């Protein structure tokens, strides 16, 4: 006597119901309501789906493998039983879908009562069919009927949107329920909306415009909004701004805009910041100059001594021209100056900064130089240091082993030039001011790059076995302590044009360091080829395919050779 068992999601369903989970199961006499898009599943003790169901459950998916027995959790015959799944859901704007059914034995799929897949027959192996359908917008009903007569039993059905941009040309529905609120104190507009019903929804884009301008996207130019709210800070110009929300599906189709939303911003907009600010050092003081700003009625100047904790002090106000001289600047002292414009309403523009040393001198050396290994796919060293207090530093020079390596505008530098394994590098850094004066060199920092330059030894025990489904390559595990992966190569023979032939190799697979075999699904065409396995260490050291030490194995694939 053979004991037959079938694995089923029904057992999981019953367990979830017992533990208070989302899915529910109930006897035939009890009413079951399943929230869309969960399936309602009915189990029948016959293959005609008739009579009172033996059990009704809520199923999150149709993916059952009953094996050789009846479903767990319900008393059904081991053979000759059936299941019906049904649901009604909102497909949004609809569009192209792929309906895929596979079963042993029979399966039928209906959309709004119309049969779309019919594989209703007793079979000895799993049968499968996929159909492409265009589902109209709105709510639709899906029904899947399944029956097993004898033998093993399994069933699976999926319906997925086709998100190919060349196939799906259907725009998603515009977002609904949009609203906007505006916080005048924070100049913050909060746009909210209801989630779309699209199954292939990728996200949303938010646009904004003035009443007289075109729509401009204000959400990220690369990423979509995935939530149902968005914060925006419109320019505080006192103008009206319109917002429009659009949905985007995974094929890149964008919906028409939803309802336009209007916000009137507060007026806190100053003039533009002064441009072209320059500082000129002279014996009589530091002279500042800038370009006139439209809308400005006067200018203010602030100053701070560099390298100190002095407060930023206002040294001039009510300047009506576009020049001013600081006659109180101390010699041999660096300063940062800020110039701002003031409009008739009293709004102060952003400040424009300029730095200068009165009685210029070379800056001090950078301090705190450190170097660390920052290698990823490329060997590289990351240098960082503390900038000197001198305000007129404009760049840094980086030296490696006493020679100039490069320059940087920031207090950091990435060395990507020929950083080799097992090599010690010594670095120093200097600062350069606006006059071209170079500081003394910093304290030296050194680093020795980890790793080696030795490739792993050739892989041994390589053998190849031809099979109907390809060629099985096997080998002995490498004993290299720093082994990272294996790479499998295949070499094929080609005529050299002189009556002979050459072998040309190409990589067919990357494998983890624990692998000792690989099935290459090569066509069984009777061709004679060679396979080789090459070890790669953590430092990307590896033997080349032309290395004479490699262990290549020749094999003739099964099948009849292909003739030209």
What pLDDT does residue 82 have? 96
Q: How many CB atoms lie within 10 A of CB 145?
A: 23
- 487 and 468, same structural domain? yes
Long-range contacts made by residues 344-347, C-beta under 8 angstroms, separation at least 24? 344/295, 344/297, 345/267, 347/268, 347/269, 347/270, 347/271
Task: Please say if the pLDDT value at position 293 is more than 80.
Answer: yes
In-domain check, residue 166 = no
Across residues 312-340, what is the average pLDDT? 91
What pLDDT does residue 27 have? 52
Which one of 119, 137, 161 terminates a domain? Answer: 161
H-run or E-run covering 9? helix 9-18
How far is CA 88 from each of CA 39, 64, 112, 139, rounded to the nearest angstrom? 9, 21, 9, 7
Across residues 123-150, what is the average pLDDT? 96
Local structure of residue 11 (DSSP, 8 states) = H
Task: Please say if the pLDDT value at position 544 is more than 70.
Answer: yes
How far is CA 533 from each of CA 476, 482, 507, rounded to the nearest angstrom? 10, 17, 10
CATH of the domain at 331: 2.60.40.10
In-domain check, residue 1 = no
In-domain check, residue 548 = yes
- 260 and 116, same structural domain? no
- 157 and 18, same structural domain? yes
How far is CA 406 from each of CA 197, 233, 387, 397, 399, rounded to the nearest angstrom? 56, 41, 17, 6, 7
In-domain check, residue 29 = yes
* In 281-343, alpha helices (H): none
What pLDDT does residue 21 have? 36
Q: Please list, in sequence order, all residues whose beta carbon lies within 8 angstroms of the beta carbon of residue 345, skipping any fewer than 6 positions away.
A: 267
Integer Cα distance of 477 and 531 in angstroms: 16
Q: How many residues does the chain have?
A: 564
* Predicted confidence band of residue 124 (pLDDT cuts 50, 70, 90): very high
Which one of 161, 189, 208 terminates a domain? Answer: 161
What pLDDT does residue 23 have? 44
Give the pLDDT confidence of 505-526 residue by residue, as tens digits: 999 999 999 999 999 998 888 8
* Predicted confidence band of residue 258 (pLDDT cuts 50, 70, 90): confident
> Which comes out higher in pLDDT, residue 500 or 121?
121
> Across the strands, what pairs with 146?
83, 107
How far is CA 260 from each of CA 127, 179, 343, 432, 516, rounded to the nearest angstrom? 51, 9, 33, 55, 63
How far is CA 151 from each of CA 50, 71, 122, 234, rounded to the nearest angstrom? 22, 14, 9, 68
Across residues 94-108, what is the average pLDDT? 97
Q: Mean pLDDT highest for which of 94-108, 283-297, 359-373, 428-442?
A: 94-108
Task: Please say if the pLDDT value at position 362 is more than 80.
Answer: no
What pLDDT does residue 70 have? 77
- Reported as half-sphere exposure (CB side, CA atoms, 13 A), residue 198 has a value of 31
* Predicted confidence band of residue 330 (pLDDT cuts 50, 70, 90): confident
- 550 and 505, same structural domain? yes
CATH of the domain at 47: 2.60.120.260
What pLDDT does residue 496 have? 80
Phi, psi of 264 (to 5 degrees): -105, 115
What pLDDT does residue 457 have? 95
Q: Which of 380, 362, 363 is nearest to 372 (CA)?
A: 380
In-domain check, residue 339 = yes
Q: How many CB atoms lie within 10 A of CB 373?
A: 14
What pLDDT does residue 8 have? 42
Contact 286, 280 (CB under 8 A): yes
Give the pLDDT confidence of 460-519 residue by residue, as tens digits: 999 999 999 999 999 999 999 989 999 999 999 888 888 778 889 999 999 999 999 999
- 341 and 305, same structural domain? yes
Integer Cα distance of 31 and 37 in angstroms: 18
In-domain check, residue 4 = no
Strands (E) located in 273-329: 278-282, 285-289, 296-305, 313-319, 323-326
Q: Range with the lowest mean pLDDT among 197-211, 232-246, 413-427?
A: 413-427
Q: Is 353 helix (H, G, I), strand (E, B) or coil?
A: strand
* DSSP string across 133-196: EEEPSSEEEEEEEEEE-SS-EEEEEEEEE---TTT--PPPPPPEEEEEEEETTTTEEEEEEEPP
Q: Checking DSSP bridges between strand 176-183 and strand 229-232, what pairing results, if any? A: unpaired
Across residues 155-169, what is the average pLDDT? 96
> Which comes out higher in pLDDT, residue 30 or 234?
234
> Which comes out higher in pLDDT, residue 226 or 361?
226
What pLDDT does residue 482 have? 87
Q: Mean pLDDT highest for which of 28-42, 123-137, 346-360?
A: 123-137
Q: Which domain holds residue 237?
A: 176-264
- 145 and 27, same structural domain? yes
- 16 and 139, same structural domain? yes
Long-range contacts made by residues 125-131, C-beta under 8 angstroms, separation at least 24? 126/102, 126/154, 127/102, 127/103, 128/100, 128/101, 128/102, 129/100, 129/101, 129/102, 130/98, 130/99, 130/100, 130/101, 131/98, 131/99
What pLDDT does residue 209 have? 97
- 156 and 24, same structural domain? yes
Q: Is 16 helix (H, G, I), strand (E, B) or coil?
A: helix
Average pLDDT, the chain: 89
* Predicted confidence band of residue 563 (pLDDT cuts 50, 70, 90): low
Cα 102 versus chain centre, distance: 33
Gyration radius (Cα) of the chain, Å: 37
Which one of 131, 161, 191 terminates a domain? Answer: 161
In-domain check, residue 563 = no
- 391 and 478, same structural domain? no
- 105 and 249, same structural domain? no
What pLDDT does residue 495 have? 84
Cα 402 versus chain centre, distance: 42
Across residues 81-94, what is the average pLDDT? 96
Strands (E) located in 312-402: 313-319, 323-326, 333-343, 352-358, 367-373, 381-386, 393-400
Give the pLDDT confidence of 166-219 residue by residue, as tens digits: 999 999 999 999 999 999 999 999 999 999 989 999 999 999 999 999 999 999
In-domain check, residue 454 = no
> Which comes out higher in pLDDT, residue 111 or 16?
111
Specify the number of domains making up the chain.
Answer: 5
- 29 and 149, same structural domain? yes
- 148 and 47, same structural domain? yes
What pLDDT does residue 86 have? 97
Task: Please say if the pLDDT value at position 226 is more than 80.
Answer: yes
């Amino acid at each position: 006597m053979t004991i037959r068992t079938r694995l089923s999601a029904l057992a999981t369903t019953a367990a979830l119901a017992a533990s208070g989970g989302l899915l529910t199961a109930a006897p035939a006499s009890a009413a079951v309501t399943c929230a869309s898009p969960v399936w309602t599943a009915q189990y029948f003790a016959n293959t005609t789906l008739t009579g009172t169901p033996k059990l009704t459950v809520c199923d999150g998916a149709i993916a059952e493998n009953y094996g050789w027995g009846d479903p767990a959790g319900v008393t059904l015959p081991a053979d000759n039983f059936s299941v019906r799944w049904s649901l009604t859901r909102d497909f949004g704007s609809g569009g192209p879908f792929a309906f895929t059914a596979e079963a042993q034995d029979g399966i039928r799929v209906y959309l709004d009562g119309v049969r779309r897949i019919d594989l209703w027959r007793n079979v000895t192996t799993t049968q499968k069919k996929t159909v492409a359908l265009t589902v109209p917008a709105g709510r639709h009903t899906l029904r899947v009927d399944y029956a097993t007569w004898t033998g093993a039993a399994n069933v699976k059905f999926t319906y997925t949107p086709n998100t190919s941009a060349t196939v799906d040309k259907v725009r998603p529905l515009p977002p609904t329920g949009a609203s906007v609120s505006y916080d005048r104190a924070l100049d913050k507009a909060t746009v909210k909306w209801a989630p779309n019903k699209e199954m292939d929804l990728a996200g949303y884009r938010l646009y904004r415009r003035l009443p007289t301008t075109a729509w401009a996207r204000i959400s990220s130019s690369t990423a979509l909004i995935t939530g149902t709210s968005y914060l925006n800070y419109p320019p505080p110009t006192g103008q009206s701004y319109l917002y429009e929300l659009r949905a985007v599906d995974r094929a890149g189709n964008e919906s028409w805009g939803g309802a336009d939303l209007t916000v009137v911003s507060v007026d806190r907009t100053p003039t533009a910041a002064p441009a072209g600010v320059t500082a000129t050092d002279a014996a009589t003081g530091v002279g500042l100059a800038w370009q006139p700003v439209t809308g400005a009625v006067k200018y203010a100047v602030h100053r701070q001594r560099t390298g100190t904790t002095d407060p930023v002090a206002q040294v001039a106000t009510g300047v009506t021209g576009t020049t001013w001289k600081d006659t109180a600047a101390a010699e041999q002292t660096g300063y940062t100056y800020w110039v701002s414009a003031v409009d008739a309403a009293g709004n102060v523009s952003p400040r424009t900064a300029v730095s200068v040393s009165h009685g210029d001198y070379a800056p001090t050396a950078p301090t705190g130089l450190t170097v660390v290994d920052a290698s990823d796919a490329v060997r590289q060293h990351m240098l960082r240091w503390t900038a000197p207090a001198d305000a007129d530093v404009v760049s840094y020079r980086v030296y490696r082993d006493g020679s100039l390596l490069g320059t940087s505008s920031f207090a950091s530098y990435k060395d990507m030039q020929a950083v080799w394994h097992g090599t010690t590098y010594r670095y120093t850094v200097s600062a350069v001011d606006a006059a071209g004066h170079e500081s003394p060199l910093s304290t030296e920092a050194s680093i020795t790059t980890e790793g080696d330059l030795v490739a792993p030894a050739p892989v041994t025990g390589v053998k190849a076995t031809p099979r109907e489904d390809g060629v099985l390559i096997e080998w002995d595990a490498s004993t290299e302590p720093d082994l990272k992966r294996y790479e499998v190569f295949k070499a094929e023979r080609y005529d050299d044009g002189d009556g002979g032939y050459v072998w040309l190799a190409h990589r067919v697979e990357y494998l983890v360091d624990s692998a000792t075999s690989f099935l290459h699904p090569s066509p069984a065409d009777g061709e004679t080829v060679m396979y080789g396995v090459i070890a790669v260490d953590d430092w990307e050291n590896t033997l080349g395919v032309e290395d004479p030490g490699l262990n290549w194995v020749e094999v003739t694939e099964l099948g009849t050779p292909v003739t030209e």
